[in-house]
Chains A and B, each alone.
Chain A
């Protein structure tokens, strides 16, 4: 682990303890319907836990002090997300305290920041980014349109999946103010209220029980002071937000990988077959040693990316893709091995292995899949 300062170490310890206490894996399990899928009455997060997170200041970690936050930086937020990832804790922290806050920090003017950041910082508002419109993450390939009518924008289209979209009251949504799907030119970001007239949302029943939303925007009227950044020039801003959101997700995936690994190691140390603890079989020892190596790569890649963001380094995009793709590969393997090494019990819904496997595949796709980030890393590095 990178050397943490005292504040960061304290934060990490506190987060670990709180998560163990308040959001153990059973909290996620309670969002599941019998046999899988999300419970239809579940809203995807626990308001009480959210209030506690806010009270601990987690929602304002990257919000500037002037707007009610602590400005501790992405590294600190990453530590918390990692701990939440360990128990697959379902909360809008990544979407709101990282995604939406980042969008406002990077794209908002002073008035917009003062308007929305304090609410996001104290947890009274929940935000999320709504960039996607289909099966595959492709922020440029969007069709949602925004047309100017007088001094207002009229937005039409569908955004899905939107992470924590059922919990959010503010969406940072992308729309096309000109050009064709696929063009980088013509993308614009808008801050849209969840209760805006013409906006409807439906939950998607996903394997990880998180229930993201599908938004439908029908002639939604948006005032021009709700445009983030420059009209038609949102592509770079979107990239920068995606970089940071992907790194946040990678931090969560690091935690999930580490816990899936630890739980599996515990099993290898207790399960007896052939008169021996199965962890004494060399084939399994080597598997464990290999996975341990993968975990090391992931931890370094995630930490480097978080530090780069805090330092506003020049190579954030490449490091973000490295972190997300490495975390994706590691979690993919560890979650599958978690099932495999538990044998029959790993195949049951009652066991946690399946929960890690399901969350893993969702996380792998979120904010750019492993393949997407590999391709981007390749392009950025001249392959």
Chain B
């Protein structure tokens, strides 16, 4: 694919291709990996998924750039990228990908002490420890730093009390990385970053039903929860900079595109028909689909350009811009998909709607969250205006 690839990279690509071909279970081809990432029960019930997870764990390729002692393979960023590309090429997915690999892992690598890394990273690298993100609270969403969950120093342990909300996967998580308040006299300067075992006494996670019908997130109550002293990452009251770094990792992973999205055109021809000139037989819908497709193509070019520039030491603060472009394009695509399905895109359940139709409807509903979580559309634009464009405010 890349002509100018260095010969050692070329060799690695061939090696990766061969290994993936031999080890990726055929039954999982083109299955969305998110299915298992978000649903512990689906993951546990699927033997091929478990096999695939175990093989990738042994190889260390779920987190290829991590050191072997943390469960990785000690590979370069280029090699990691090659694995991703080869995986995509065979319709595969990374079975290790999780909040742990995308958010907490990279953060611990930078801010955790050696004991914390050794205790958690290998379990993340094998995807045997599921994590949830306990940041948002009822009164602290976009204004995350106003969070209130109390964490008191009891000498030999921390005592945590308060409430988190919108915590994705909290009911299925083994652990939670949370922001807590250790000092009430300062806003950002009173926040600490704490790792909490979800099995601890005093924690209750109540699932909340989403508009898509899924119970993807929870409200979580912490009632005098005891947490070991060693679970605080970095220094007391220094959690805000750790959180900001983690949010960068999160935004990065949200705008990171693993695979090309399926084009709408073939489906549109099926549902809307084809006119005498071979065009989708709805000029209005066609024009809007074309626009969406072109924006996506330009977006992919932008992702590649930003990556290239970053490698050459160029500008790297495009994350907010990318996240808004991506969520906008995907949300519009979701709208177009159910619109091209017409009445068939409006079903909730029942045989009158094909499975793909019902999935499209749910996916459209869920996509509305893309411009809310990981920093809302508005918050991202504020960041772009202030930090990228240098506008006052």
Measuring CB to CB, which residues of chain A are less than 8 angstroms from any residue of chain B?
34-38, 132, 134-137, 160-161, 202, 204-208, 214, 272-275, 281, 283-284, 332, 336, 339-340, 343-344, 346-350, 353-354, 357-358, 361-362, 364-365, 369-371, 374-375
Contact = CB atoms under 8 A, between A and B. Distances in A.
Contacts of B213: 35-37, 349
A132 B343 contact: yes
Given A36-B213, A349-B213, 10 more contacts: A134-B343, A135-B342, A135-B343, A161-B343, A273-B146, A275-B143, A347-B210, A358-B365, A369-B342, A371-B339
Contacts of A370: 284
B166 interface: yes
Interface string B141-167: 111001000000000000000000110
Interface in B314-350: 331, 335, 338-339, 341-350
B388 to A, nearest CB: 16
Most buried by B among A34, A38, A136, A348: A136
B361 interface: yes
A256 to B, nearest CB: 16
B306 interface: no
Given A204-B347, A273-B142, A375 B210 contact: no
Contact of A207 (B215, B217, B347): B347
B209 interface: yes
Contacts of B339: 364-365, 369, 371
A214 B166 contact: no
Given A273-B141, A273-B142, A371-B285, A336 B368 contact: yes
B378 A281 contact: yes
Given A207-B361, A349-B211, A350-B209, A343 B342 contact: no
A372 to B, nearest CB: 8
Contacts of B146: 273-275
Given A340-B368, A371-B285, A375-B282, A206 B208 contact: no
A181 B343 CA distance: 19
A247 B352 CA distance: 28
B282 A371 contact: yes
- Closest A-B pairs by Cβ, 8 of them: A354-B211, A37-B348, A135-B342, A273-B143, A371-B284, A136-B342, A349-B209, A36-B213
Most buried by B among A38, A272, A354: A354
A346 B372 contact: yes
B352 A204 contact: yes
Nearest to A38: B348
B352 A137 contact: no
Contacts of A134: 342-343
Contact of B211 (A202, A357, A374): A357
Contact of B371 (A132, A135, A202, A340): A340
Given A202-B352, A205-B350, A339 B368 contact: yes
Contacts, number: 133
Secondary structure type dominating chain A contacts? mixed
A204 B350 contact: yes
A361 B377 contact: no
A357 B165 CA distance: 23
Nearest to A210: B346
A354 B367 CA distance: 12
Contacts of B253: none
A346 B346 CA distance: 20
Contact of B346 (A206, A350, A371): A206
B276 to A, nearest CB: 13
A178 B137 CA distance: 64
Contacts of B338: 361
7 contacts: A205-B348, A205-B350, A273-B143, A273-B146, A340-B368, A344-B372, A371-B285
Contacts of B283: 375
Contact of A135 (B331, B344, B368, B382): B344
A339 B327 CA distance: 14
A15 to B, nearest CB: 27
Interface string B183-215: 000000000000000000000000011111101
A135 B271 contact: yes
A211 to B, nearest CB: 10
B65 interface: no
Nearest to B144: A273
Most buried by A among B136, B146, B365, B382: B365
B205 to A, nearest CB: 15
A348 B210 contact: yes
Nearest to B288: A371
Nearest to A374: B284
B310 interface: no
Contacts of B252: none
Contacts of A34: 209
Contacts of A204: 347, 350, 352-353
B282 A206 contact: no
B231 interface: no
A157 to B, nearest CB: 16
B385 to A, nearest CB: 9
B363 interface: no
A284 B352 contact: no
B373 to A, nearest CB: 8
A35 B352 CA distance: 19
B372 A347 contact: yes
Contacts of A272: 139
Given A36-B348, A205-B350, A347-B372, A135 B341 contact: yes
Given A135-B342, A274-B142, A362-B346, A348 B368 contact: no
A72 B345 CA distance: 37
A136 B345 CA distance: 10
Given A35-B213, A347-B210, A206 B378 contact: no
Given A136-B272, A349-B211, A371-B284, A283 B349 contact: no
A283 B381 contact: yes
A206 B284 contact: no
A347 B343 contact: no
A172 B63 CA distance: 62
Contacts of A361: 338, 345-346
A134 B342 CA distance: 8
B288 to A, nearest CB: 8
A37 B143 contact: no
